[in-house]
Chain A
Amino acid sequence: MSEFEDIQRLIRLKRFEAPKEDFVEDFLAKFHERQRSELLRQSSLSLLWERVSTYFDDLVTPRMVLVPAAACVGLLAIWGAMNIGSGNTTDATGSLVSSQSMPSVLSKQPAFNVDSQLIREVENDRALEIEGILLSRHFETDTTLQPELLDVVSVSGSATPVSAELQPVAGFNR
């Protein structure tokens, strides 16, 4: 016999704890109810699926499929184009490279700095005067240029006079 015989006999008293007599039949009834509800849930889902399938089988003809399919493809294309154009940043996966910034060498534009007294005069002292002259040329029919302004325009090289005529370049089309 075990040294724990007394404790085993004591703990065995727990077998007297039991549910009421009608527990088993009630339990079985609930089990049936549960099985039925599971079956109904399954069958209602399959019924719904069948009806939806049938509905689309009857409704959708090949010609009718083309229009929504084309619309979907169009929407997808627009969406894709917007995504590419929206400047997505590259991430760790490196999925997009279209929005990568320009290399630093290319992004540096050459500076156009010509240090000239005449340019400074044009830019600083006579800028307003040139603007006034140009505006007047624009609105006046008289296109005679004032002699003191001709040198400015021709020397600066950066400002093309409004009244200058464009001459055809010989051999341009060659």
Chain B
Amino acid sequence: METALDKPTAAASSSAEDRILVERAQDGDTRAFDDLVRKYTPKLYGMVYNMTSNREDTADLLQEIFAKAYRSVKRFQGKSSFYTWIYSISVNMTLNFLKKRGRYAKVSLDDVDSGIQNDPEFVKVTTAARDTVREVNINELQKRLNAAMMKLSEDHRTVVTLYDIQGHQHNEISKILGVSEGTVRSRLFYAHRILQTYLEDLV
């Protein structure tokens, strides 16, 4: 499971590795592009999934994203990292998809990894709940979190997904979205405030 924050050295090494793979892909090495797909699929899946709340849409959209990246990789000049580039493509395509899909969409959630049982936050939420009237199980918690996320605007949901769920830094999100860091922080602040109103009984 991908966890939050990458250390700078790991990020640098990852970036150098990406550059080599991209150069090979630009020379027509399809296996190099496959390696990029393998590397970025879990990360991009998480981003698209938390934006759409539908796993079938996520898989389809991810195919479109990598197909577009494959068509465009020869034009990639390395002005930004591949990581920023592919994330920018993903965010733009996801936002366009959400605009086309409209407001009412069928929710289709992934299973929750059993590792959540060991997460301190989950333990805290569920243990606290046992002493009260409410009972919170995994499925209910998943639905509550998802519903709260879907209350957010697409811009707010994007920054929450990238920052809170995926663990990107403000400056990285700023580059991906093409907005200032101040805008990222501002969106996060308002998004958290909205989330708190919907989830305050769980915290």
Partner of B66, one of A12, A20, A31: A31
Main secondary structure of the interface of A (DSSP, over half): helix
Determine if A16 and B113 form an interchain contact, defined as CB atoms under 8 angstroms apart.
yes
Per-residue contact bits, chain B 106-150, to A (CB 8 Å; 1 contact, 0 not)? 000111110110010110010000000000000001100110110
Does B70 have its Cβ within 8 Å of any Cβ on chain A? yes
Residue count of chain B within 8 Å CB distance of chain A: 49
Does A58 have its Cβ within 8 Å of any Cβ on chain B? no
Partner of B192, one of A4, A19, A23, A28: A4
CA distance A24 to B120 in the complex (A): 28
- Give the Cβ gap from A40 to chain B, nearest Cβ, in Å: 15
CB-CB under 8 A from B109, the residues of chain A are: 17
CA distance A137 to B203 in the complex (A): 123
- Give the Cβ gap from A12 to chain B, nearest Cβ, in Å: 6
Determine if A7 and B116 form an interchain contact, defined as CB atoms under 8 angstroms apart.
no
Given contacts A34-B67, A35-B70, contact A18 B203 (CB under 8 A): no
Query: Which 9 pairs of residues, A with B, have the shortest CB-CB distance?
Result: A4-B192, A6-B203, A16-B116, A16-B113, A9-B121, A17-B110, A11-B164, A7-B196, A24-B41
**A interface with B by C-beta (< 8 Å):** 2, 4, 6-20, 23-24, 27-28, 30-31, 34-35, 38
In the assembled complex, 7 residue pairs joining A and B whose CB atoms fall closer than 8 Å, in A order, are A7-B199, A10-B121, A11-B164, A13-B141, A16-B115, A28-B41, A30-B63
**B interface with A by C-beta (< 8 Å):** 1-4, 34, 37-38, 41-42, 45-46, 49-50, 55, 59, 62-63, 66-67, 70, 109-113, 115-116, 119, 121-122, 125, 141-142, 145-146, 148-149, 160, 164-166, 189, 192-193, 195-196, 199, 202-203
